[in-house]
Structure 1
C-alpha cells in the first residue's frame, strides 16, 4: 500500500513560505494540507484564503482544504474555483452533508469528510458510499502540537472493516500528532494518508527530502 504524505502547512515556516513549498516539492510530497478555521467551529483561527492561493499557485501538486468552519457549504464554491483538489468538511457542522458532498463533486473536486475524535462511525456511516476521503482527526481539531488520542484507533479499525465489508472506495487519512511510529502502526490498520506536522516533518534538523524518504519506507 503506497502512502499519501500530506504536509500540514499551518506548521510551515511562513517567513519563507516560497522556499518551504519548493523544498517540499523537491521532497516529493503528495498533497498540501491547508487548514481553514473560523474561530467558531474550533476555538482558533487558521490559514486564510491568501495562504491557500499562494500555495496553490506555487505547486503543481494536489492541494486539499480542511474546512473547520460552521456552515461549510457556504465556502465550497470559493475554494473549488480557487483550485482545491480535495475539500474536507465536518458533517457535524453541516445541516445537509450529503448535499454538500454532491456540490463538491459537481464542482469537479474530490469530496472528503473530516471526523472529530468524539464522533462515532455509526453517525457518519451513511455518507461513506459517496465520499472519496475520510479524514480521521486523532486530536481535537484546531491546534497543532497536541497529544495523540489513542482511543481513536478503535474508530480507525472499525472504519477499515466497514470499508471492506461494504465495498466502499474511500481513502482513510489521519490528522493529528502523526509521528513516524504512529505511521508504522496505522498503516497496518488500513490508513493510506497521513497529515504531517511537527511530530514527523516540520521543525526537524534534517531536510524534507531525507525525512519524506524515510517516512515512505515505514
Structure 2
C-alpha cells in the first residue's frame, strides 16, 4: 500500500502560498488538500477560488477539493473545470447526492465522500460503489487545531472492512499526528490529511517531515 500524504493548505502560510506549494511538492507530498467552506454548512469560511487557482497553477501533483458547502452539486463543474482531481462532498449537504457523484465522474474526476463524526456508515453504504475515496473526519469539520475524536476509530475500522468489496481508498482528516499515522496506516488507511499536528508549524523542513512520516508505514 502506498501512503498518501496530503497537506491541508488551509494551514499553510497564506502570505507565501506559492512558495509553500513549491516546497511541499519538492519534498514529495502527494495530494494538495483544499477546504472550501460557505459559513453555512460549517460555521467558518475556508479557502477561496483564487487560492485554489494559485495552488493548481503551481503544482503538477494531485489537488483535491473538500466542499463543506450546501448544495455542492452546483459547484462540481466549477471546480472540475478549475482542475480539481478529486472532489469530496457531504451527504448531509446534497439532496441529490447520487447525481452529484455521477457528475463528478462524468467530468473525469475522482469522487469522494467526506464523512462527519456524527454520520454513520449505514448512511453512506448505498453510495460506496460510486466513490473512489472515503474521507473520514476525525474532528468536527470547519476548524483547524481540534482534538482527535477517538470514537471515530470504530467507523474507520468498519469502512476498512467494507473496502474489500469496493474500490475506494480510506482517508482521514483531522488532528492527524505522526502516532495516528503509524496506527491507522497499520490498519489499512491509505491517506492522511496533514495540518498542524504533523506538518505545518513544526521545527523541521518539509523534506525532513515527509521522510519521517513515510517511515511510519513501514
1:156·1:189 contact (CA, 8 Å) conserved in 2?
no
Q: Distance in 2 between matches of 1:37 and 1:85?
A: 18
Cα drift, residue 2 of structure 1: 1.4
Q: Distance in 2 between matches of 1:65 and 1:17?
A: 16
Q: Give the alignment's TM-score, normalised by structure 1.
A: 0.98
Q: Give the alignment's TM-score, normalised by structure 2.
A: 0.98
For 2:46, the equivalent position in structure 1 comes to 46
Q: Distance in 1 between matches of 2:180 and 2:210?
A: 15
For 2:192, the equivalent position in structure 1 comes to 194
1:70·1:94 contact (CA, 8 Å) conserved in 2?
yes
Q: How far does the alpha carbon of each residue in 1:17-64 deviate from its partner, in whole angstroms, 9 at most, with x for none?
A: 121011101101100000000000000000001000000000000000
For 2:161, the equivalent position in structure 1 comes to 161
For 1:79, the equivalent position in structure 2 comes to 79
1:138·1:152 contact (CA, 8 Å) conserved in 2?
yes
Q: Distance in 1 between matches of 2:194 and 2:107?
A: 27
Structure 1 runs of 4+ with >2 Å offset = none
Equivalent residues in 2 for 1:136-215, closer than 5 Å: 136-164=136-164, 167-215=165-213
Q: Distance in 1 between matches of 2:108 and 2:143?
A: 30
Q: Distance in 2 between matches of 1:37 and 1:21?
A: 21
Equivalent residues in 2 for 1:94-109, closer than 5 Å: 94-109=94-109
Q: Distance in 2 between matches of 1:7 and 1:102?
A: 27
For 1:216, the equivalent position in structure 2 comes to 214
Cα drift, residue 159 of structure 1: 0.6
In the alignment, structure 2 segments of 5+ residues that lack a partner are none
1:63·1:86 contact (CA, 8 Å) conserved in 2?
yes
For 2:57, the equivalent position in structure 1 comes to 57
Q: Distance in 1 between matches of 2:54 and 2:101?
A: 26
Q: How far does the alpha carbon of each residue in 1:106-157 deviate from its partner, in whole angstroms, 9 at most, with x for none?
A: 1111000001000000110000011000010000000000000000000000
Q: Distance in 2 between matches of 1:115 and 1:214?
A: 28
Q: Distance in 2 between matches of 1:55 and 1:137?
A: 23
> SS where residue 114 of structure 2 aligns?
strand
Aligned residues: 216
Cα drift, residue 188 of structure 1: 2.2
2:163·2:169 contact (CA, 8 Å) conserved in 1?
no
Q: Distance in 1 between matches of 2:72 and 2:18?
A: 29
